[in-house]
Chains A and B, each alone.
Chain A
Amino acid sequence: EVQLVESGGGLVQPGGSLRLSCAASGFIFSDYFIEWVRQAPGKGLEWVGRSRTKDASYITDYAASVRGRYTISRDYLQNSLYLQMNSLKTEDTAVYYCVRESEGGKRFWGQGSLVTVSS
């Protein structure tokens, strides 16, 4: 059974940092694009970024809104994906979903982790 379990969310002050984790199981981790998608309270979905497959050298891609502040990394031994978030702003407050992508848009979603940026 495919599972994606996010952890690490919580309350952080503006300007602070936080690292989210996504533990993957039930599939060959290196064969899939793994993404982060977020949703601010009461708002729509926003694609944050992704880690490509092993064959694509795990290259990372980022949305313009987070590029330079967020870093996505993989630990292929732990089958985990990470999202390091720096210089956080109040508008980064959202539920962050870990998502497996394949076949041109077929996505499997984790249950999400809430990040609140507030003083």
Chain B
Amino acid sequence: QTVVTQEPSFSVSPGGTVTLTCGLNSGSVSTTYYPSWYRQTPGQAPSTLIYNTETRSSGVPDRFSGSILGNKAALTIAGAQADDESDYYCMVYMGNGLWVFGGGTKVTVL
């Protein structure tokens, strides 16, 4: 069974840069997996940050960027701010109509 992997947690200093990754337990994530990234704060529904590997959703600041790094999808947050503290989820398309989420990364800014 394919598992989508994410770091469980990350800490970043205010103004710093952090890169979250999204991989597979077997194989590599490429653009054909349409990796996307979502952000969720406690008690709220998720919202889209990045879709189709690197396209920012409307209203998302350009501090957030998506890419492929090596064999994984990546979300980079530059110039981290206090309100970037959230859970971040990646999602990939596995083919045959199926999508799978990663386990999520809790980002702390301190």
Contacts and interface: CB of A to CB of B under 8 A. Distances in A.
Contacts, number: 67
A106 B52 contact: yes
Interface residues of A, number: 23
Interface string B77-106: 000000000010101010011111111100
Sorted nearest first, the 9 A-B pairs with minimum C-beta distance are A105-B36, A61-B97, A105-B51, A104-B52, A104-B34, A106-B51, A109-B45, A44-B104, A45-B101
B57 A106 contact: yes
Given A45-B89, A107-B48, A109-B47, 16 more contacts: A44-B89, A44-B103, A45-B46, A47-B98, A47-B100, A61-B96, A103-B55, A104-B36, A104-B52, A105-B34, A105-B35, A106-B36, A106-B57, A107-B46, A110-B45, A111-B45
Interface of B: 1, 34-36, 38, 40, 45-48, 51-52, 55, 57, 87, 89, 91, 93, 96-104
